[in-house]
Amino acid sequence: MREFDIPLFYKSKVISSVKKMRQETDSRKKDYTPSVLDFGPVVFYIARHFGFCYGVENAIEISYKALEENPGKKIYLLSEMIHNPEVNNDLVSRGVSFIMDTSGSLLIPWETLKPDDIVIIPAFGTTLEIQKKIDELNSHTISYDTTCPFVEKVWNRAASLGKSGFTIIVHGKHNHEETKATFSHSKENAPTLILRDLNEAKILGDVILGKKSDEEIKELFKIFRDRYSKNFDINLHLEKIGVVNQTTMLASETEAIANYLKDIMIKKFGEKNIREHFADTRDTLCYATHDNQRATLALLEKDADIAVVVGGYNSSNTSHIVELCEEKLPTYFISSSKEIESDKIINHYNFHEHKKLKTEYYLPQKEKVKIILTSGASCPDAIVEEVMNKLLSYFSNTRKTDEVLNTLISK
């Protein structure tokens, strides 16, 4: 896989070394077991796959290239480059301004932008409506479009299905930038509907099978308000469907929704006719999301005491990793080492209720503490290492880092 030119300060000695070692010994990712960094009184289980993915590294490389190639020019980002505060703050410190926040609200009026200003499209992509506004500004955006190639793959697949008469079901969070972009592109070529989870898929399944009256359908579709394309006709547009995903959603959840809806279509149209009514879209699943999920599940097979997950609090893929960890053990979702006040107190985020929490005595009082450590796809290795070192500092008589790394590499 291609190597990207990203700033050195996003890399780290320990975490990047562990990743490199695993890549060299398991380039095809057949082994998802975690790396074990045994410092004596504390052990860290490091996920086989986590941190910057292909799309994020691509976006960072292009963004810093835009800064380097345009000294003295005003440079704008449509919204956050990726959902990581450290990365976004660094770009802001270098003079980049955000046009919108992550909800789509304008921070800078469009009319203040000049034709020779630089506008960078973030990794999530953007809607056709916003792209039109940018084009009207006659900016140099084309050279600095950081849209993830796997997001574009979803768009292209949706367009292809639409031209073949299929309705597109998007598995995603309707207010997420990527889902907004995917919906915008998809509805140009096909009737499109956004589903959040399997429960909403089951509602749709009942509608497809005719289990709801017209009045019930009318009420049910209030759930999907603002989540379906103009002139969507449930009597016409649910005969042929294909499921694509917001790439930051759990791959297993997208597969569960697709499998459920496929079974519904089989019930309605029969097994022998299924290809005419349900499209196989497994090729749109993001490899990084899939790998992160499998690596997290392998982490959870270890007998750990706590999990620490690092990433931006508005990061969808990070929240799903947290969700998986929470099912098994105490999990602390933090944005950086600054959230760790001491060996007694940690500040962390409850993404279910969207609020910060403070927990005391989070580190178990035992002879050997075992900690799962991982991060989302938009978190730099350097930040993960800072978290590890902060936690490590609370233990005495620990083994030297070089010794631990040499032990790991010599295995």
Q: Which residues of 123-144 are buried (b: 16+ CB within 10 A; e: fewer)?
A: bbbbbeebbebbeebebbbeeb
Claim to verify: residue 257 and residue 309 sit in the same structural domain: no
Q: How many residues in total does the chain contain?
A: 411
Residue range 127-141: mean pLDDT, rounded: 82
> Is position 219 within any domain?
yes
The neighbour count for residue 366, using CB atoms within 10 Å, is 9
- Cα–Cα distance measured from residue 136 to residue 358, given in angstroms and rounded to the nearest whole number: 48
d(C-alpha 49, C-alpha 292), whole Å: 5
- In this structure, is residue 237 part of a structural domain? yes
Q: From the candidates 57, 178, 385, 386, which is the catalytic residue?
A: 178
Q: Is the pLDDT of residue 316 over 90?
A: no
Structure tokens at 41: 């009184």
Query: What pLDDT score does 248 carry?
Result: 79
pLDDT digits (tens, 9 = 90+) for 345-387: 999 999 999 999 999 999 999 999 999 999 999 999 999 999 9
- What phi and psi values does residue 334 have, to the nearest 5 degrees? -125, 155
Q: What is the pLDDT of residue 159?
A: 94
Least confident of 67-71, 233-237, 260-264, 308-312: 233-237
With beta carbons less than 8 A apart as the criterion, state whether 390 and 325 touch: no
CA distance 305 to 356: 22
Identity of the highest mean pLDDT range in 28-32, 46-50, 218-222: 46-50
Domain count, the chain: 3
Q: Are residues 218 and 174 in the same domain?
A: yes
Q: What angle do CA 73, 79, 83 make, to 5 degrees?
A: 120
> What average pLDDT does the segment 38-51 reach?
96
DSSP string, 70-103: -TTS-EEESS-SSS-HHHHHHHHHTT-EESB-TT
Q: What pLDDT, on a 0 to 100 scale, did the predictor assign at position 410?
A: 61
Q: What is the mean pLDDT of residues 214-219?
A: 83
* Residue 111 counted as domain residue: yes
State both tokens at 139: 């900016």
Helices and strands, number each (H, E), in the chain: 14, 14
- Averaged pLDDT for residues 312-341: 95
The answer on 58 and 42 residing in a single domain is no
Q: What's the confidence (pLDDT) of residue 219?
A: 81
DSSP string, 310-341: ES-TT-HHHHHHHHHHHTTS-EEEESSGGGB-
CATH code: domain of residue 90: 3.40.50.11270
Percent of the chain whose predicted confidence (pLDDT) is above 70: 98
Clarify whether residues 166 and 268 are in a common domain: yes
> What's 385's domain CATH number?
3.40.1010.20
Do 196 and 134 share a domain, yes or no?
Answer: no
> Domain of 116?
54-144
> What is the mean predicted confidence (pLDDT) over 77-87?
89
Of the candidates 236, 260, 284, which is a domain's last residue? 284
Residue 97's pLDDT is 94
Quick check: is 322 in a domain?
Answer: yes
pLDDT at position 1 is 62
Retrieve residue 404's tokens: 């631990």
Residue 139 pLDDT > 80: no
Q: Is the pLDDT of residue 87 over 70?
A: yes
What pLDDT shows up at residue 247?
A: 82
pLDDT confidence tier of residue 60, bands split at 50, 70 and 90: very high
Categorize the per-residue pLDDT at 141 as very low, low, confident or very high, splitting at 50, 70 and 90.
low
Task: Please check whether residue 39 lies inside any domain of the structure.
Answer: yes
Task: Please answer whether residues 316 and 173 qualify as being in contact, where contact means their C-beta atoms are separated by less than 8 angstroms.
Answer: yes
Using 50, 70 and 90 to split pLDDT, how confident is the model at 225?
confident
**What pairing do the DSSP bridges indicate for beta strands 355-360 and 331-334?**
unpaired
Cα separation, 297 vs 252, in Å, equals 11
Q: Which of 17-31, 119-133, 343-357 has the highest mean pLDDT?
A: 343-357
Would you say residue 251 lies in a domain?
yes
What's residue 397's pLDDT? 94
In the predicted model, is pLDDT for residue 409 greater than 80? no
Task: Write the burial class of residue 153 (CB in 10 Å: 0-12 exposed, 13-18 middle, 19+ buried).
Answer: middle
The answer to whether residues 292 and 401 belong to one domain is yes
* Average of per-residue pLDDT values in the chain: 92
Give residue 38's pLDDT: 96
Averaged pLDDT, 18-28? 90
**Strands 355-360 and 345-350, bridge-based pairing:** antiparallel
Give the pLDDT score at 114. 86
Strands 278-279 and 355-360: unpaired
Show the tokens assigned to 361.
């005595």
- pLDDT one-digit tens code per residue, 155-177: 999 999 999 999 999 999 999 99
Active site residue 57: no
Tokens of 234: 């449930």
